[in-house]
Amino acid sequence: MSRPLRVVVVNGSPTERSKTMGLVRLITDSLAQKLEIEIHQTNVYHLGPSFTGATSRDELDPSVEEEFAAVESADLLIAATPVYRGSYAGMFKHFFDLVGQYALTNKPVILVATGGSDRHALVIEHALRPLFGFFQAATIPVGFYANSGDFDGDMVLNAEVYSRIEVGLGDVMGSLQRLTTVR
């Protein structure tokens, strides 16, 4: 690839400095050691009133529409959310409710979630993967989940999380290689 890989992170956390984004930073830092990447971050909780009240894309401010365009044109999408009440954050879901139905077809997607305990670990398989299955996205087989005990503030401490990231990024590299071979 002659240009950097366009990685877009959709942050479903209400705050930019969070456990969720700490896990994402660890993933993107590891990915940057393997590939030249360019990162764009969409913080769904900061998109403003035109987003929160929108029922269709034509109701969005142009700056918010640019965030959707970034997601839809990404080479790699990282969908990251904290777990609330057993599932993804409501604003995170609202964002994807407005994404074009076929805009993510075959797009590689890394699924990331954080929660208070391991009781929420299956959110990746039971909530996130079906959501991106609807879009016919190419979700990476290994999802990334960490619980509150894996962190000190927003820094990941658990060595198992680091190991899982290396395994998952191997899947990412394979997906990207298959996509560039097909194109």
Residues near 78 by beta carbon (within 8 Å), at least 6 away in sequence: 7, 8, 9, 10, 24, 27, 28, 109, 110, 112
Number of Cβ atoms within 10 Å of the Cβ of 50: 14
- In this prediction, residue 18 carries a pLDDT of 92
Among candidate residues 9, 3, 23, 7, the one with its CA nearest the CA of residue 115: 23
Report pTM: 0.94
Residue 140 DSSP label: -
- In this prediction, residue 75 carries a pLDDT of 96
- In this prediction, residue 176 carries a pLDDT of 86
Tokens of 9: 């992170």
Residue ranges and CATH numbers for the domains of the chain are 5-182 (3.40.50.360)
* Ordered per-residue pLDDT tens for the chain, 183 residues: 579 999 999 999 998 789 999 999 999 999 999 999 999 999 999 999 999 999 999 999 999 999 999 999 999 999 999 998 889 999 999 999 999 999 999 999 999 999 999 889 999 999 999 999 999 999 999 999 999 999 988 888 898 999 999 999 999 998 888 776 655
